[in-house]
Chain A
Amino acid sequence: MAAKMPVRKYITANEAVAQAVRLAHVDVVAAYPITPQTSIVEKIAKFIADGEMDADYLKVESEHSSLTACMGVRMAGARAFTSTSSQGLEYMHEMLAYTAGGRYPLVLVNVCRSVALPWSIWGDQQDAIQQRDTGWIQIFTETGQEALDMVLQAYRIAEDHRVLLPVMICLDAFIQSHTEELVEIPDQATVDSFLPPYDPVVTLDVDDPYSISVGGFGKHYARWKMEQQEATEKARDIILEMGDEFARIFGRHYGGLIEEYRCDGAEAVLLAMGAFTGTAREVVDEMRDEGRSVGLVKVRAFRPFPVEPLRKVLSTVKSAAVLDRDCSWGYEGALATDLKAALYGLPDPPAILNFIGGLGGADVPPEKMKYMLEKALAVERGTTPHLEFIDP
């Protein structure tokens, strides 16, 4: 039952997500088990079984069907949730593009895990990055608290009539999913004051029948896709708006599309997404104490890409080390590529060093972060591209 005051508990990010789903008045949860996502949906199933959450749990036979069923729930005008990882997200791929194109305001939590082969249940972000072009809004989180808070915000962002796009909240396998942290679980009334009931634009309404998802030729198709792009671009403003409104109510703010940590006057910055940014903060503090001029840029929104904030912060530094827990094989890490494109046209752009690390659950300890930042400090602008695998 909903407590009257926020509760502070040591829980995993997976449980934090389940708590957010409970608080979000989700009507139907459709999910298929995969490590390390399972404890999210197990917890939700338990909430429902114990009567702590009024929702239906659809026991689907695959991730392709879980996302499709969620789309169906939305067509009926109700709120849905699903969650997956890795191979499951890959298996959903067709429906990820389908639901984004159809402008279904879905919320999905992906517990980022490696993609086979080699088979690995451990963490990296290859799974989420491979869905980059499906049209989903993708937000990476650092802690259990941020995961909980962003699931609540995700429903507002997705369902906003200026957006109407699906949102994927990403957390990192094991570092977040299976590690207990102190998390504040808000009370129901406060959540309700932030997240109103779902107000759909169009449903399968027998009294006002529409063909709600259709085919389109040539210019109709192009027009539809152009509007999809416009809405995705517009989502930047809505993400900021919701972040600010959330902060006013709950007192927690995560910085917007990116978070700059001690970037003032920094010569070199480290760019990263997800849970490793926690370690990076410590490293930046240590190096600053040693008089080294470094900072951290935590990229929170990967799609829509935070072009302007990145141009602003990167225009003041000499170099940047980009940590990618992914790779676009035959090129480089996706964050590095997108960052370079975002900086196009800057008069005196910084040198970009790309480090591929944390693959298949490999740790990126403080020494390695220090190594990347030292390397960035040592290079000059105009340095040729640098790509380095730091795990092996």
Chain B
Amino acid sequence: MKLKDISKEEFYRASYGCAGCAAVLAVRLTIKTLGKNSVYVVPANCISTVSCYYPQAPFFVPFTVMAFAATAAALSGISAGFKRKGREDIHVVGFSGDGGTADIGIQALSGAIDCGNKFIYICYDNEAYMNTGIQRSGLTPYGAVTSTTPAPCFENRPKKDMLRIVAAHDIPYAATACISYPLDYMEKVEKASRVNGPTYIHILTPCPTGWGFAPDETIEIGRMAVESGIWKLVEFENGQFRTTYTPKRRRPVSEYLSAQTRFRHLSPEQVAAIQKEIDAARA
């Protein structure tokens, strides 16, 4: 995919997203990739909060809100219904946040992958329950302060590895992505759309409001996450993991951490420990 291939048509506009919101950008890029032959299920999260209140209608494609725990089950049901109606050509897409995926929605996600219907489940990961006021989720990383892991304490557990969790289901296709690498993301969405079965894409969407950086730094923060190696761009296909982008020279994670207020309490020793873990994983 090349930049010039990206559709000029807009299918998602005029949401109430915060300035610098990466999640609404991810929605916009997703629909541009899949086009108008796609339908969207969005549970309780930032996207629904900034998009769904009647008479507001930023989605120019069929859209429904969904109960928090139910995204994947709804995708499975819609997909089964379309199959019966001879409309397997329609892309059935879910847009769930990190908590809606790794916490309350994980059972339905597991069940829906196991069920085997065709859908694209997108987890946009801003690493906490943002629209309810920045509470920690199962995808909040070690060291982050949230409103339920306040300073001087902080999140003391590592992020769940959702890619390995879905891969353990022998899912036909899964990938991680980051909003700062739009072509990589859109190629993965496009690839998922060609799979006749359940697919999962996990995109890191930095959140200025919840992470504590300026709205114009979103893309740079995402880039730091990938260039430092704390977030990896990976695909899972045919039972194999494959890295889709490797930074030429990894930048120190301290740059990424110090750019956000949620990590500013970390001691040099704690930062060094995080760096050591990244180095060990890369080795």
Contact = CB atoms under 8 A, between A and B. Distances in A.
Interface of A: 27-28, 30, 55-56, 58-62, 64-66, 68-78, 80, 94-95, 98, 203-206, 209-217, 220
Interface in B90-111: 90, 107-108, 110-111
Given A68-B70, A98-B70, A211-B54, 18 more contacts: A28-B84, A56-B80, A56-B83, A60-B76, A62-B108, A68-B74, A70-B77, A71-B77, A72-B73, A73-B84, A76-B81, A76-B82, A78-B81, A95-B67, A204-B62, A206-B62, A210-B62, A216-B53
B257 interface: no
A58 B115 contact: yes
21 contacts: A58-B77, A58-B80, A58-B117, A59-B115, A60-B73, A60-B115, A64-B69, A64-B73, A65-B111, A68-B67, A68-B73, A68-B77, A71-B77, A72-B73, A72-B75, A72-B78, A76-B77, A76-B85, A214-B52, A214-B57, A215-B54
Dominant SS among interface residues on chain A? mixed
A55 B75 CA distance: 18
A214 B62 CA distance: 11
A213 B55 CA distance: 12
B175 interface: no
A75 B78 CA distance: 6
Nearest to A73: B81
A85 B178 CA distance: 44
B59 interface: yes
Contacts of A62: 107-108, 111
Given A56-B80, A94-B67, A206-B90, A61 B59 contact: no
Nearest to B55: A220
A227 B41 CA distance: 24
Contacts of A76: 77-82, 84-85, 87
Contacts of B53: 214-217
Given A60-B111, A65-B108, A68-B108, A213 B64 contact: yes
A75 B39 CA distance: 10
A70 B76 CA distance: 9
Residue in B59, B61, B76 with the greatest tally of chain A CB atoms within 10 Å: B76
Contacts of B61: 206, 209
Given A62-B107, A206-B37, A212 B64 contact: yes
Given A72-B73, A204-B64, A216-B53, A211 B80 contact: no
B112 interface: yes
A147 B107 CA distance: 32
Nearest to A27: B84
Nearest to A211: B63
A321 to B, nearest CB: 41
Interface size class of B (residues with CB under 8 A): 35 or more
B52 A215 contact: yes
A73 B75 CA distance: 9
B32 interface: no
A77 B75 contact: no
Contacts of A95: 67, 70
Nearest to B83: A56
A212 B110 CA distance: 26
B103 to A, nearest CB: 14
Nearest to A210: B62
A74 B107 contact: no
B48 interface: yes
A217 B108 CA distance: 28
Nearest to A77: B85
A220 to B, nearest CB: 5
A182 to B, nearest CB: 34
B76 A69 contact: yes
B77 A80 contact: yes
A107 B61 CA distance: 28
B77 A72 contact: yes
A204 B82 CA distance: 10
B196 to A, nearest CB: 15
B62 A209 contact: yes
B60 interface: yes
B276 to A, nearest CB: 38
Contacts of A59: 114-115
B77 A30 contact: yes
A216 B36 contact: no
B198 to A, nearest CB: 13
B192 to A, nearest CB: 18
Residue in B37, B55, B67, B84 with the greatest tally of chain A CB atoms within 10 Å: B84
A211 B52 contact: yes
A372 to B, nearest CB: 42
A65 B62 contact: no
A55 B117 CA distance: 14
A129 B64 CA distance: 29
Residue in A61, A62, A69 with the greatest tally of chain B CB atoms within 10 Å: A69
Interface in B199-228: none
Nearest to A224: B54
Contact of A61 (B36, B67, B107): B107
Nearest to B60: A209
B65 interface: yes
Nearest to B39: A204
A323 B39 CA distance: 48
Contacts of A211: 52, 54, 57, 59, 62-64
A215 B55 CA distance: 9
Contact of B110 (A61, A66, A74, A98): A61
B15 interface: no
B38 interface: yes
A56 B110 CA distance: 19
Nearest to B70: A68
Nearest to A54: B84
Residue in B38, B62, B112 with the greatest tally of chain A CB atoms within 10 Å: B62
A203 B77 CA distance: 13
A216 B70 CA distance: 20
A73 B77 contact: yes
A205 B67 contact: no
Nearest to B82: A76
Residue in B76, B81, B115 with the greatest tally of chain A CB atoms within 10 Å: B81
